[in-house]
C-alpha cells in the first residue's frame, strides 16, 4: 500500500532515493532548488531552506506524511529528525541528530566514551582559537561547526593565517562556532554501516585518497575494500561499532571517516546518513547487495523489522572524481565511450557539455564530477580508473589558455 514520504534534499546524490521512493509511494519533496525533471517524479514540491524546521513541520502536518527521510547530505538530518519526533514517526531523535551534525558535540561524546580524539577547541572567538593553536605549538585545521561539502576548512600554521581564515570559516557555521583541531596526517578510511533497533552492522570499509594539487579537502578517489592489513581494518571496524552505539543511533545508514596516525585511530567525523558521491546508493549496493534506498524507505515508515542480509566479499568498487578548471568547455570526447563501459555505473558526466561555463573553483566537494566504477579486485579497479582518465578528454578555455580536467 502506497504511503506518503517527505524527502528533504534534491541534489544529485538524493536522486536515487527520490526515484526509488517515487516508484512505490507518494513523495513530498523539500529543497531550496529542484530540477524540473526531478519535480515531475514526485507528488508535490516545496522550495525552501531545509533548515527551516518549523515551516517544514507545518507542511508535513498538512500533507499528513507517513515518514521523513534524507540521504547523502548532512544539513537536512536535523530537520528530518525533528519532524519525525514531533509527529511520532520513526526516526533517530532530535538530540541524536545534533550529535551527528555538530563537530563540537561529536568531540565531547568521544571524550565521554574514552575514545581516542584529536585535540581540539570549539570557539566563537578568534583569539581563543589563536591561543589554542599557540598552546599546541603546531599547525591546526579550522572547520565550521556544522557545515558540509568541506566548505570553510582551512589549514593554518601561523596566528596570522588563522586570523585571516577564521572569519571565512565562521560564515559557514550556523551558530558562528568554529572547531579548531590539531592537524594530523596519516592514512584515511571511510566506513559505511547500517543500524536497526540499536544493532549496527558494518557494511564496507575503504580507502580515501585526496586531491594533492588543490586545497579542497575532498577525495579524488574512495575505493572499497580497503587494501590495509586485516588487523588494522578490524580495529577500525571495532571503533566504528563503539562510536555508533555510543552515539545512541537506533536506525539508519551511517558514514564515518577515520585517520590513523602513529597507530592511533582518530574519528574525523561521523554522519547519520549514507556517504555522498553515490557511496550510499551505489558502492554499498555493488559491494554488499544491500538495496540502500529500500532499507531507508522501509525504516522511515517503520516497516523494516530486521536487518537485511548482506553479501560478504563482493566486487571491488569506488569512485574517481575530477574538477574542471574555471572557464568555458570548448571540446569534449570520450564521454559516450566511458558511459558505455559495462563497469561504469552512475556518474555525473551528463552535466558537462560544450559551451558550458564553469565558474566553480576547485574549493569544495560540491564542484567535483564523479564516476562510479566496479571490478573483480582492487588491481583491476585501479587499471579501469586509469583507463577512464585517459579516455575522458574535456578541453576548457581559461584566462590562461586551454586546460583539462584536474584529476590530482
| DSSP string covering 35-64 | -HHHHTTSSEEEES-TT-HHHHHHHHHHHT
Domain assignment present for 108: no
User: What phi, psi does 63 have (nearest 5°)?
Assistant: -80, -15
- DSSP symbol at 365: G
Shared-domain flag, residues 218 and 282: yes
Shared-domain flag, residues 53 and 130: no
According to the model, what pLDDT value does residue 33 have? 97
According to the model, what pLDDT value does residue 311 have? 95
According to the model, what pLDDT value does residue 174 have? 81
According to the model, what pLDDT value does residue 216 have? 61
- CATH code (residue 14): 3.40.50.20
Q: For 40-68, give one letter per residue: b (16+ CB within 10 A) or e.
A: ebbeebbeeebeebeebbebbeebebbbb
| Rounded CA separation 335/361 (Å) | 22
Residue with cell 577547541: 121
| Rounded CA separation 290/287 (Å) | 8
Domain assignment present for 101: no
According to the model, what pLDDT value does residue 217 have? 78
Shared-domain flag, residues 147 and 46: no
Shared-domain flag, residues 127 and 229: no
Shared-domain flag, residues 178 and 211: no
Which residues touch 50 (CB under 8 Å, ≥6 apart)? 8, 9, 30, 31, 32, 56, 75, 76, 79
Domain assignment present for 114: no
For the chain, what is the domain count?
A: 4
According to the model, what pLDDT value does residue 150 have? 64
Which residues touch 166 (CB under 8 Å, ≥6 apart)? 126, 129, 142, 178
pLDDT (tens, 9 = 90+) of the chain, 408 residues, equals 799 999 999 999 999 999 999 999 999 999 999 999 999 999 999 999 999 999 999 999 999 999 999 999 999 999 999 999 999 999 999 999 999 999 889 999 999 999 999 999 999 999 999 999 999 999 999 988 887 656 788 899 999 999 989 888 888 888 888 999 999 999 999 999 999 999 999 999 999 999 986 556 789 999 999 999 999 999 999 999 999 999 999 999 999 999 999 999 999 999 999 999 999 999 999 999 999 999 999 999 999 999 999 998 899 999 999 999 999 999 999 999 999 999 999 999 999 999 999 998 776 678 899 999 999 999 999 999 999 999 999 999 999 999 999 999
ω into 122 cis (within 30 of 0): no
Domain assignment present for 67: yes
Q: For 13-23, give one letter per residue: b (16+ CB within 10 A) or e.
A: bbbbbbebbbe
- CATH code (residue 127): 3.30.1490.20
For residue 33, the enclosing domain spans 4-89
Given 182, 198, 214, the domain boundary residue is: 182
Domain assignment present for 272: yes
Domain assignment present for 107: no
Q: Look at residue 246 and give its three-state secondary structure.
A: helix
Shared-domain flag, residues 361 and 299: no
Given 284, 312, 340, the domain boundary residue is: 312
Domain assignment present for 178: yes
pTM over 0.85: yes
Shared-domain flag, residues 83 and 195: no
Shared-domain flag, residues 198 and 304: yes
Shared-domain flag, residues 142 and 226: no
Say if CB 316 and CB 223 are below 8 A apart.
Answer: yes
According to the model, what pLDDT value does residue 351 have? 95
Domain assignment present for 236: yes
CB atoms within 10 A of CB 157: 12
According to the model, what pLDDT value does residue 258 have? 98
Q: 4-8 and 67-69 as β-strands: parallel, antiparallel, unpaired?
A: parallel
Shared-domain flag, residues 163 and 193: no
Amino acid at each position: 500500500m502506497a504511503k506518503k514520504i517527505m524527502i528533504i534534499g534534491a541534489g544529485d546524490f538524493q536522486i536515487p532515493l527520490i526515484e526509488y521512493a517515487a516508484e512505490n509511494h507518494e513523495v513530498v519533496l523539500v529543497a531550496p532548488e529542484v530540477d524540473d525533471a526531478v519535480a515531475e517524479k514526485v507528488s508535490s514540491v516545496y522550495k525552501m531552506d531545509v533548515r527551516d524546521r518549523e515551516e517544514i513541520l507545518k507542511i508535513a502536518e498538512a500533507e499528513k506524511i507517513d515518514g521523513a527521510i534524507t540521504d547523502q547530505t548532512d544539513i537536512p538530518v536535523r530537520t528530518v529528525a525533528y519532524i519525525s519526533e514531533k509527529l511520532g514517526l520513526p526516526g533517530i531523535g532530535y538530540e541524536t541528530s545534533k550529535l551527528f551534525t555538530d563537530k563540537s558535540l561529536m568531540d565531547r561524546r568521544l571524550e565521554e566514551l574514552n575514545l581516542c580524539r584529536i585535540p581540539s577547541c570549539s570557539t566563537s572567538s578568534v583569539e581563543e582559537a589563536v591561543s589554542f593553536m599557540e598552546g599546541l605549538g603546531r599547525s591546526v585545521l579550522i572547520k565550521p561547526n556544522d557545515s558540509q561539502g568541506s566548505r570553510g576548512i582551512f589549514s593554518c600554521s601561523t596566528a596570522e593565517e588563522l586570523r585571516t581564515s577564521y572569519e571565512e570559516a565562521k560564515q559557514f557555521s550556523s551558530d558562528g562556532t568554529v572547531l579548531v583541531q590539531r592537524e594530523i596526517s596519516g592514512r584515511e578510511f571511510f566506513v559505511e554501516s547500517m543500524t536497526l533497533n540499536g544493532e549496527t552492522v558494518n557494511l564496507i570499509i575503504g580507502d580515501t585518497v585526496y586531491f594533492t594539487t588543490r586545497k579542497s579537502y575532498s577525495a579524488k578517489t574512495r575505493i572499497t575494500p580497503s587494501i590495509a592489513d586485516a588487523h588494522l581494518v578490524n580495529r577500525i571496524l571495532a571503533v566504528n561499532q563503539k562510536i555508533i552505539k555510543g552515539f545512541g543511533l537506533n536506525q539508519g545508514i551511517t558514514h564515518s571517516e577515520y585517520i590513523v596516525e602513529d597507530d592511533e585511530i582518530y574519528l574525523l567525523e561521523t554522519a547519520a546518513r549514507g556517504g555522498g558521491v553515490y557511496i550510499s546508493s551505489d558502492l554499498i549496493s555493488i559491494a554488499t547487495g544491500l538495496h540502500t534506498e529500500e532499507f531507508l524507505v522501509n525504516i522511515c515508515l517503520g516497516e523494516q523489522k530486521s536487518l537485511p542480509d548482506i553479501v560478504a566479499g563482493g566486487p571491488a568498487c569506488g569512485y574517481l572524481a575530477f574538477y574542471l578548471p574555471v572557464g568555458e568547455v570548448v571540446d569534449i570526447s570520450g564521454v559516450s565511450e566511458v558511459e558505455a563501459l559495462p563497469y561504469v555505473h552512475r556518474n555525473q558526466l551528463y552535466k558537462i557539455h560544450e559551451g558550458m561555463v564553469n565558474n566553480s573553483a576547485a574549493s569544495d566537494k560540491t564542484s567535483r564530477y564523479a564516476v562510479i566504477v566496479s571490478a573483480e579486485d582492487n588491481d583491476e579497479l585501479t587499471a579501469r580508473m586509469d583507463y577512464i582518465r585517459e579516455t575522458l578528454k574535456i578541453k576548457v578555455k581559461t584566462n590562461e589558455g586551454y586546460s583539462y580536467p584536474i584529476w590530482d
